[in-house]
Amino acid sequence: MTTPSPATVCIVGAGPAGLYAADALIRKRPDARIDMLDRLPTPFGLVRAGVAPDHQGTKAIVRQFARTLGRPGVRFLGHVAVGRDVTLAELRDAYDAVILATGAPEDRRLGIPGEDLAGVYGSGAFVGWYNGHPDHAGLAPRLTGPGVAVVGNGNVALDIARVLAKTPAEMTGADLTADAARTIAAAPLTDIHILGRRGPLEASFTPAELAEMGTLTRAVPVVDPAALPDAAGAWDDPKEQALKDKTLEILRGLAARPAASAAPVRVHFHFRVAPLAVLGADGAVTGLRLARTRVEDGRAVVTEETTDLPVATVVSAIGYRCAALAGAPLDDRGVVANTDGTVAPGLFVVGWSKRGPSGVIPTNRADSMAVAGRVLAWLDAQAAGKPGPDALDRLLVARGVRAVSREDWDRLDAAEVARGAAAGRPREKFTSVAAMLAALDAAPGAPDTAATQTADA
């Protein structure tokens, strides 16, 4: 009797959504062969490059993800980019199922005059810079001070403000890159402004992140008591009610703090303001023009009342979009067009690529498990037999692609940790693909030969 061929699955993207999907699949189909591709040599996606460097507790989830990568049947192939090294069509031909888990890496633009001036950055690029993402490590942001505006009322906006406001001593134990640490420490910042289009109850930051702003050594939060409502109002969802009550409680506590005029750094919370234009001179930012808003039916409506905020840097933290990929069109929301995670027969999508940039890391677990269920149903209805990894390996060898294995990543991980230990940090990241591949060549256990593809910096 012929033994049935194991199902083959390719997951494009080795971040949280993809790893949760891989774990769900391999638990139900332990005989499956699952390849996880990532365009970078490193796994873990936004846990590595998006979570704030001083939130090491959150980043500890990589230990769970590392166990998934180490499970029999799961293979990591880093430095393999779909669209550059292999096409989506080729993957669909080679595997029984393909799952897109590529996230939403592109910053949404403000869409206002002046946003192309020097000193304006999207939060994805800015956070990627201080987290050492190869796409953004060379950003060299203009932090000439004394003012910085962060547009957005979510946790990312708070992360940016907090990282800029903290002292070097407060960043001890963080994996902030050496370049970012030097730049931020030298920046003559005195006023950081966090701007929200709607009111404090519509803000999307979590209470834990908000409360953290009141614990900083040299920075003092500034909240106008008049901007806060008397009560959080009535919400249908008890969890939402508790969240709003806690948010208002924390904001009231921050507003009641002593005057912050003498503090070295002040973090101002502005509610019901919308950016109208970035002001500049000689090609660089000098200010941000704001309009007062009023909230009607949950939407911010711009009024004619304006004010100019003197800042030299503007960081927009207003969301992200997916990157276009041939064979996976985006819908009008900027995500891969799908129905409950199904894009086309045998093609699926999870995470931010599926639903947009919302939720925290664990939010992806339930989403990925639900889509994994649909993938399993698809596999059960098909006659497995596509070659999967064998076909991909032949393509990569023929094209001279240097794929980075999990064992390679383990060596790279060890090298980063060793570099960090010398500087008193959890790790010192390699911030270019070229440096990562060079480190692999120099690391103990490196192969005698390597593929010939030129690394992208």
359 is in an annotated binding site: yes
- Encoded tokens for 280: 């500049």
154 is in an annotated binding site: yes
Dist. CA 174–CA 146, nearest whole Å: 25
Give the contacts of 189 (CB within 8 A, at least 6 positions apart): 143, 145, 146, 147, 148, 164, 165, 265
Q: Which of 317, 344, 374 is the last residue of a domain?
A: 317
122 is in an annotated binding site: no
355 is in an annotated binding site: no
pLDDT at 408: 97
360 is in an annotated binding site: yes
131 is in an annotated binding site: no
Same domain as 331, residue 251: no
373 is in an annotated binding site: no
Contact 386, 96 (CB under 8 A): yes
Same domain as 300, residue 394: no
Domain that holds residue 135: 108-317
pLDDT band at 1 (very low <50, low <70, confident <90, very high): very low
pLDDT of 324 above 50: yes
Residues 186-213, buried b or exposed e (16+ Cβ, 10 A)?
ebebebbbbbbbbbbbbbebbbebbbbb
**Residue 448 within any structural domain of the chain:** no
**Residue 2 within any structural domain of the chain:** no
Same domain as 129, residue 99: no
* Average pLDDT of the segment spanning 243-260: 91
Dist. CA 175–CA 161, nearest whole Å: 17
160 is in an annotated binding site: no
162 is in an annotated binding site: no
- Encoded tokens for 337: 């067009």
User: What's the CATH code of the domain at 327?
Assistant: 3.40.50.720
17 is in an annotated binding site: yes
Query: Structurally, how many domains does the chain consist of?
Result: 2
Residue at 239: amino acid letter: K
Query: Which residue, among 403, 420, 404, 412, has the nearest Cα to 444 in the 3D structure?
Result: 412
* Average pLDDT of the segment spanning 392-406: 97
**Residue 294 within any structural domain of the chain:** yes
At 93-145, the pLDDT tens digits run: 999 999 999 999 999 999 999 999 999 999 999 999 999 999 999 999 999 99
